[in-house]
A = this chain, B = another copy of it.
Amino acid sequence: MNVEEKFSGYRGEALEAIKRAEAQIGDIIRITKDDEVYEGILIPRSEYGDEKHIVIKIKSGYNIGIRLTPNTKIEKIGVGAKPAFAPPPLPEQNPKLPQVAIISTGGTIASRVDYRTGAVRPALTANDLYSVVPELATIARIDAQILFSIFSENITPSHWTKMAEAIAEKINQGVDGIVIAHGTDTMGYTAAALSFALQNLPVPVILVGSQRSADRPSSDAATNLMAAVTTAAHAPFAEVAIAMHETPSDTTIAIHRGTKVRKCHTSRRDAFKSINTQPIARVRNQKITMLTNTYTPRDKKRKLTPKPKFNEKAALIKFYPNMNPAIIEWHIENGYKGIILEGTGLGHINKNCFQAIKNAIDNEVIVAMTSQCIWGRINMNVYDTGRDLLALGVIPLEDMLPETALVKLMWILAQTQNPEEAKTLLKTNIAGEFSPRTTPEEAKTNGN
């Protein structure tokens, strides 16, 4: 083990403290701080770690970070196993199986955890994957690559562009489906981005994450990954979707359309929900059941048209009581070309913001309305507030998710410089982001 591996990720004060205790990654250590005593295995930190915390895996399997103070004492109380990642031999690949490209961007799902030490490393070579989830060899021939290895909160529109380009390359090479391993925090935003960026998709693109790391008995990593690969290899549709647990149990995996899905729980395995619609499909024991007839069918002869650019001069503004209208003005002054408002109820915002909204629209900034309710449909014809906003030129975005609306606007603003064309695109259903009005009751929706 070289020096880097012995202290992986530790810097500054934390590194000094570990060295003083003559400990290294994998050793069992005891940390005494104030009146509390913590014991566990010293585990590596990521590249973003600060210099103040020591992270140990305690007996329950849970990782905790302990902040160093002048009176924190660290002792080595046992020598642990050192992380070992010798890959097993590559399994025989069945040439009759479809080929799936797995592209990793980071996140828990993309990591391989040493069960003893909790060390987390990207594990996206094909044989690493087969060693972690050997069942994959019976579903598809895997081709794996690491594109990035970052927490998904650090994903930006330029990463979406690189992902779209990497996917286009794989599709041009003739794969039967794509799996994107992704941190769950912003996976919904990325799914929407790829839904717009990958026009005329011939095969499925399935994003997959995990809510619990693979070192925990409750991990959802392997079941989600198997369902994602199954869907990429065998599903009848060619769309961008997210594969995650449908319920807290391991029984079924829901396949959510990329423009209609959002992370709705911080920690549950079934955190992802389709909003205002059903999932496209359900996977149970690697068998796919379609839940809708409305989808773009798989067709390898269809010619992908990548449109991978995004313009970051679009903002999402969540309204709250007496929000300062100067926040809207700030976006105009700073060259923003589009604003998605997350209003209240059917699409409302305090009338003291009307002048700022008018100024934005007069300056050719596109202003569109979504609802912070999350569920349901905007209807700006019911009350005067809505009608006044429509009269100002605010675009009502029906039942589109605020997050999807933001991503769509970033994408549109990279496709055209013409505001009228941009508005038309915003109102056009491009990737299933609008659901049809289904019932007379919903068409007559009301409320305040």
List A residues at the B interface (Cβ < 8 Å): 45-46, 48-50, 52-53, 60-65, 67, 107-108, 151-157, 183-186, 189-190, 209-213, 216, 218, 263-268, 271, 312, 315-324, 326-327, 330, 334, 342-352, 371, 373-379, 381-385, 387-388, 390-391, 403, 406-407, 441-442, 444-448
Contact = CB atoms under 8 A, between A and B. Distances in A.
Given A151-B348, A183-B448, A212-B446, 17 more contacts: A60-B444, A64-B381, A108-B448, A151-B448, A152-B448, A153-B319, A153-B385, A154-B352, A156-B322, A186-B321, A263-B345, A266-B377, A267-B447, A271-B447, A315-B324, A317-B318, A320-B406
A313 to B, nearest CB: 9
Which of A65, A312, A346 has most B Cβ within 10 Å?
A65
Contacts of A322: 156-157, 312
Contacts of A211: 446-448
Contacts of A373: 263-266, 271
B385 A267 contact: no
Contact of A375 (B53, B63, B265, B317): B265
B108 A212 contact: no
Contacts of A49: 384, 387-388
8 contacts: A52-B391, A108-B448, A151-B385, A266-B345, A266-B371, A267-B447, A315-B327, A318-B342
A384 B45 contact: yes
A351 B47 CA distance: 12
A383 B45 CA distance: 9
A-B pairs with the 4 shortest C-beta distances? A266-B376, A185-B344, A211-B447, A267-B445
A375 B64 CA distance: 23
A399 to B, nearest CB: 8
Contact of A343 (B153, B320, B347, B384): B153
A38 to B, nearest CB: 12
Given A374-B374, A448-B107, A153 B266 contact: no
Contact of A384 (B46, B210, B383): B46
Contacts of A155: 321
